[in-house]
Structure 1
Amino acid sequence: MRILLLTTGLKLGGAEQQVAALARQFIALGHAVAVVSLTPDCDVELPPTATVLRLDMRKTPWSMASTLWQVRDFLHAWRPDVLHAHMVHANLFARALTRIARTPPVICTAHSYREGGRLRMLAYRLTDRWASLTTHVSADGRQGMIDAGAAPPDRIVVVPNGIEIDRFRPSPELRLATRQSLGATEASILILNVGRLVPEKAQNLLLDAFSRLQSEEGLEARLLIAGEGAERDALAATINRLGLAGRATLLGVRRDVAALLNAADLFVLSSEIEGMPLVIAEALACGCPVVSTDAPGVASLLGDAGRIVPRNNAAALAAAMRAALRAGPGSPPERTARRDRIASRFSIEAVAGQWLACYARLASRATAAHVELA
């Protein structure tokens, strides 16, 4: 099968990494893959045998129109069997493309619980019939789009994201080496957060909760926050204001998340908004205990394999972190159960299989429709 993956961009975000992981898995299974990005930056690892087209679309009518014609020409030359768009801008772009080109079945995947305000929801609703199918990565996100009027219930389904389970696995050797590189001993307590430094990730709340932990006598813990974003300066100021210098560290962009998760004694997600926070799946696959706020998409991933607290409640988050640290990493069977939960439901192999079955159904229907018209 010839699969075209259309994405808004290829920066180091969860949706972008999912596009890259799907491309790698599809190619490993013998399919041809093209990745088309509407913006030029690329921070994710794409398979070398993928056909890649990176564009430079701007927010002007002329640039959008020009990019539509560029992708139209690429589409006609590459001739995919299916076009799978990811993220709101690419989703609406793919639907617009159906107006000027003969396209294969078009699937639009939303990755965020909050895809945008009223205008974007209206754009989704008005263009819904131009897509063969709309999907969301979580049940919470699907219901949110239905409630906003962006998609009718019978036109949007849930297909989760997946992780590369062989990459995220427990490794005592990796744990030891990474902790040494971070200046931590085996007795040190390392708490980890991974995510973009943006308001919806609420790392300021995490710092507040961590400062409450530090007030406990005898607790020597460090908080590591991996990621980059517009809130970096504000978070650095909060660290200084709370007296956490030397105990809370902004690591910046890291490409060794599996190593960090192995090194950590606890992973904490403090988000207000998520679509499907894959980093929770990655933590569980590495056997790492997890505490999270009840952001959309968390419950379906975490289930009873970790602790979930209300959003915007630093005291509750601190209490859950305290309880998780006291409980420790759990028994070997408990750690295995965390990993098995992810491997059985959220591995990239399982998710890619769902997509390929979906592609085949839609392609078959499109072929039958063309035969009837002929």
Structure 2
Amino acid sequence: MTMSQGSASSGGRRRRGRAAARAETAFFGAVVTATDLLPPRIRYGYVHPLTARMFRRPLRHLAAIGVRSGAIALPPATSSFPATLCCALLTGSMEVGGIGSVIEVLAAAFPMAGVRAVVICTADGARAARLRSRGVDVVVAANEAEAERALRELNPDVIESHSAPLPLEDAAIASGIPVVPVLHNMEIHFSRARWRRFARVLGSSPAAIGVSESVREFHARHVGAELAERIRVVANAVPSESAPDADERRAARAALARTLGTDLAGDFVLVSLTRYDAQKNVAGLVSSFLATVTADQVRLVVAGEPSDWAELRRADALRRCSDRADRVTLLGRSDARALLAAADGFILDSFFEGWPVAATEAAETGLGLVLGDFGGARELVDRDRGGSFLIPNPCGPAERVSDAAVARARRRSRRQPNAHELGAAVDALVLRARDDSRAPVRTWAPGEQLTAMVEGHADVLRRAVARGLVEARVGRVEGSS
């Protein structure tokens, strides 16, 4: 075969490959669109498990590396309160998503603010085991009766409900113990009946916590001004790990290069730690990146748990439609610290977030961020002005996000309205990194954000207990008169 014949054969294979990718894009796009038309309980309870069985395939992942610069360091106690207050943290499974991470941090760090934590969750797992090793009581309660029994035995002074399943929430309300709902996300799937229930819960609660201003505004739109006044914003935080040193970065970079099967020398590696599902907009991120990023040698690495395999397969098909497909890699669930140590920047283009824990971890390691305008994004970018970038939300104002708006945005993943802003922000992030030879520097003191979160929660809890005692005294006086 001559050189020209070999080149023609290779070109033919590429054309056929892109044609197959376009067909897969259309197919998985139709699956996603049809799924979005179904009620959420059908979507998540039946369709996603079915598509997982149909479309699952092996995914590469980056494992933890042996070199570590330092361990998690909780800041020293700054509160004068004795550890006399007991708070039960009520939730579902702690193993998926950012809520479990927040609960683990709170339960471990609450003693700094004079609060002893106990955890009631619906399933055991690695986080529960780690908390038990720290001396934290963790009880598994699969239903309302088991939750009621756990609350009687643990006898907490106050309860924080972290998106707890309804049976556990019912047990908390029936206990008569003050309940503080912690609002972690934009609840776009709530029906009118579910919002009425939330309003009743908030009305009977002494206070609530929203993890970002966007979350507070979103819930305020559904419950009215009077009840919204009970919601206090306490931003999420993560423990301050020492930033990766040069040895750890080299080891992580080499491990990532082996995982990707390519040489990363000279590449700017942009990482997105996320999940493959409707919320996270991975298909839109991949398409916008490939269409608009102009800086040379920029590589996008997405890693996370596939909760929606149709979304992952559509993102991969969109990737393969491009002649720059090799610049994007989709990994499975991987070690967060290893990926962040190997990265030069972090990006998240979700349709909605309450407060992105992964982006907070990236900021703690000193990475510049490119974030869509969702809950917590403005706060994170404001902490690193000039080094991180905020772009418009791909489906509209963060506080007005809805299931319908997300479905519309998903249908136009190949032409999202923030695509050019995303490309410009990535180019600016790359330019800044290549023009500045200094190591990344935090703009806040280590532990500062975690201390603020823990003490913010503790202050709300103490006020809730105090209010409950006052209301109990008033009730006794009225009953005796």
Q: TM-score range by the shorter chain?
A: 0.7 to 0.9
In structure 2, relative to structure 1, the CA distance for the partners of 1:330 and 1:280 (3 Å cut) is farther
Change (3 A) 1:122 1:150: farther
Q: Which moved more, 1:199-208 or 1:120-129?
A: 120-129
Q: What is the identity percentage for the equivalent residue pairs of Structure 1 and Structure 2?
A: 24
Deviations 1:160-203 (A, max 9, x none): 111111x2624222211100101154522211001111122111
- Distance in 2 (CA, whole Å) between partners of 1:155 and 1:29 is 22
SS in 2 for 1:250: strand
Match of 1:292, as an amino acid?
L
Q: 1:173 to 1:97 in 2, by over 3 A?
A: same
Report SS of the residue matched to 2:443. helix
Partners of 1:13 and 1:168 in 2: CA distance? 23
Corresponding residue to 1:5 among 69, 85, 89: 89
Q: Which amino acid aligns with 2:127?
A: V
Equivalent-residue separation in structure 2 for 1:319 and 1:299 (angstroms): 18
Write the distance in 1 (CA, Å) between the matches of 2:346 and 2:97.
18
Supply the distance in 2 between the matched residues of 1:6 and 1:257 (Cα, whole angstroms). Answer: 26
Greater displacement, 218-227 / 319-328: 218-227
Matched residue, 1:59? none
Shift of 1:34: 1.7
The alpha-carbon deviation at position 76 of structure 1 amounts to 0.9
* TM-score, length-scaled by structure 2: 0.67
Letter in 1 for 2:461: Y
2:187 corresponds in structure 1 to: 114
Counterpart residue type for residue 114 of structure 1: E
Does structure 1 retain, via aligned residues, the 8 Å contact 2:115–2:458?
Answer: no
- For residue 468 of structure 2, the aligned residue among 351, 356, 366 is 366
Task: Name the amino acid aligned to 2:428.
Answer: A
- Match in the other structure for 1:309: 391
Change (3 A) 1:99 1:306: closer
Match of residue 63 from structure 1: none
Instruction: Give the aligned partner of residue 331 of structure 2.
Output: 251
Deviations 1:227-264 (A, max 9, x none): 1121222222222223454432222112x312322221
Bigger mean CA deviation after superposition, 15-24 or 47-56: 47-56
What is the aligned partner in structure 1 of residue 141 from structure 2? 55
- Look up the match of 1:44: 127
Distance change >3 Å, CA 259–CA 269, structure 1 → 2: same
Q: Corresponding residue for 1:60? A: none
Change (3 A) 1:77 1:55: closer
Is the alpha carbon distance of 1:15 and 1:189 closer, same or farther for their aligned partners in structure 2, counting shifts above 3 Å? same
In structure 2, do the counterparts of structure 1 residues 345 and 137 end up closer, same or farther at CA, with 3 Å as the change threshold?
farther
| Contact map agreement 1:95 1:131 (CA 8 A) in 2 | no
- Alpha-carbon contact 1:295-1:311 (below 8 Å) kept: yes
Counterpart-to-counterpart distance in 2, 1:234 and 1:168? 37
CA distance in 2: counterparts of 1:332 and 1:119, whole angstroms: 55
State the alpha-carbon separation in 1 of the partners of residues 444 and 440 from structure 2: 10
- Aligned residue runs from structure 1 range 198-217, under 5 A: 198-212=277-291, 216=294
Q: 1:161 aligns with which of 236, 244, 264?
A: 236
Change in 2 beyond 3 A, CA 1:125/1:364: closer
Cross-structure match for 1:62 = none
**Residue 223 of structure 1 corresponds to which residue in structure 2?**
300
Deviation for aligned residue 1:4? 0.9
Query: 2:346 aligns to what SS in structure 1?
Result: strand
Task: State how 1:73-222 maps to structure 2 within 5 Å.
Answer: 73-87=149-163, 89-90=164-165, 93=167, 95-103=169-177, 105-114=178-187, 116-117=189-190, 118-149=192-223, 152-165=227-240, 167=241, 169-183=243-257, 184-212=263-291, 216=294, 219-222=296-299
Q: Does 1:18 align with 2:102?
A: yes
Aligned residue among 327, 340, 345 for 2:443:
340
Structure 2 vs 1, CA of residues 288 and 330 (structure 1 numbering), >3 Å: closer, same or farther?
farther
Q: Unpaired segments of 5 or more residues in structure 1?
A: 57-66
Larger CA deviation: 298-307 vs 29-38 = 29-38
The answer on whether the counterparts of 2:207 and 2:460 sit within 8 Å (CA) in structure 1 is: no
Matches within 5 A, 1:293-304: 293-303=372-382, 304=385
Give aligned pairs, total: 353
Alignment CA distance shift 1:246-1:331 (3 Å): closer
Determine if contact 1:176/1:186 at 8 Å carries over to the other structure: no
Structure 2: which 5+ runs fail to align?
1-84, 258-262, 395-417
Match of 2:370 among 291, 299, 320: 291
1:330–1:269 CA distance, 2 compared to 1 (3 A): farther
- Quick one: distance in 1 between partners of 2:469 and 2:434? 52
Deviation at 1:24, TM superposition (A): 1.4
Identify, as 1 or 2, the structure richer in helix.
Answer: 2
Amino acid at match of 2:239: E
CA positional deviation for 1:115: 5.0
**Larger displacement relative to structure 2 (236-245 or 1-10):** 236-245
Do the aligned residues in 2 keep the contact of 1:281 with 1:302 (CA within 8 Å)?
no
